[in-house]
Chain A
Amino acid sequence: MPDSDARPIVSIRDMHKSFGHVEVLKGISMDVPKGGVVCIIGPSGSGKSTLLRCINALVPIDSGSIRVANFDVHSLTTDKERLALRREVSIVFQQYNLFPHKTALENVMMAPIYVLKEPRDEVRARAIALLKKVGLAAKQDAYPGELSGGQQQRVAIARSLAMRPEVMLFDEVTAALDPETVKEVLNTIRELAAEGMTCMLVTHEMRFARELADTVYFTDGGVIVESGPPAVLFDQPKADRTRAFLSQIL
């Protein structure tokens, strides 16, 4: 259970982001407590992916602030600082984005070896354990091209976990999967959440969000329209826009 008294591990204040002349995020504020699970829902193009990418410093923000653990994400400038941040917060993408020329095991091992400069044997043992954790011990020598979508996504999760992050970001990680394999991936995330990993998920799986989230954020047009515990947000939405979106999707 999240400890709501402690300082939030992710704290975003009035964050703005434009691409060219288009303002995609128009003042986002949110707090995620350590061990908390938040889900972000909203229509396509509302800036959900951009929000996650900002938290991971993949895109710079224009104004406002993002604080993750002890890092002021908005004022990181050097590669070294960004690397330090990325040890704390790791992102998993919709399209898995595994390295196609590396086996599942190598995919998991690469960043700890080349980025964190940790000893190979140690990393290898940890990577094998992580693959086992996501149910892919038997596939460690398979290349991404030989794995199903769900399997690739679980390798991608293991690859992120290998950095030992404090916060995991999931950007519609089941959107590209067929219904059967969605379950495998959701189970993996469910276990992570149960172990106390702080998770921020952009998702269209409303049942999953309802089950797992402490807080659900509904975003539209670059702002957070409404947020609250899933039972409240899903069953008694206050804003018309939330109601309209939920009636469409449920």
Chain B
Amino acid sequence: MGVNKQLKEENIYKPLPVSIVRNLPQIKDHRLFQLKIENGTTWETFSHQPGQFIEVSIFGKGEAPISISSPPTRLDTLEICVRKVGILTNALFELGKGSTFYIRGPYGRGFPIDILKGHKLLLVAGGLGLAPLRSLLLYALDKRGEFDDIILMYGTNNPDNVLFKYELLSFFDRKDIKYLYSVDKDEEGIWKQYVGVVTGLFDQTELSPDDTYAVMCGPPVMYRFVIQKLLSLGFAKDHIYVSLERMMKCGVGKCGHCAIGDKYCCTDGPVFSYPEIESIKEAI
């Protein structure tokens, strides 16, 4: 993992054309895009790791970092789940099936699969933070034998904003994954599970901190609370991993935008172990 040295001699800023195979509306302003590489090569050669991201490029609208949502175990398409928020993402939503745009990557250091293997996995996701965690989740489910228990905690602000709804529902039929879903508010009273912030889910289940690795991704406010909770439950600091978001321009450690102390979120992260960033005040 880490930086892909192969790219060293090439122009790291040159994007590669992909086309949209399917464009699946998720919730309001969120879509899942399934992509294929235009020049006929496969995603195998792209060789991404769960937790890595790409730079999406639409000429005239700029570039934006977007997590890869699909696992390297499912390579027929590459999936990204995008929220429409600004210039580039609006332009992306204008594109239909068969349309072309450009990407660069895969970038960054993903989840430490080799460390996680053989252990219990606790995935804590808030909102769109599920996008990068989903690549790890599906990876672990596809290689189910390589992991011990898998627990997913997923919180959204209300029942309308649950991403990957059908996928999450399908876990109801599985015995080999434990899922806990929460919504911050349920004004219509339709939510059958936990109502409250995602940290409340910790009181709903027994965890075994010694052999569990916790990984999390969500909105900025979530990290501190979840980490506090984990530490109070007895999780060792090096059993906690966070995937962080920063404003990024280049994705390859040059433009400086994503710096966090002496680290660059785009190349040293976006996944960090808690000890790596614990002493950096601006990190979380």
Real complex partners, A and B?
no
Chain A interfacial positions (CB closer than 8 Å to B): none
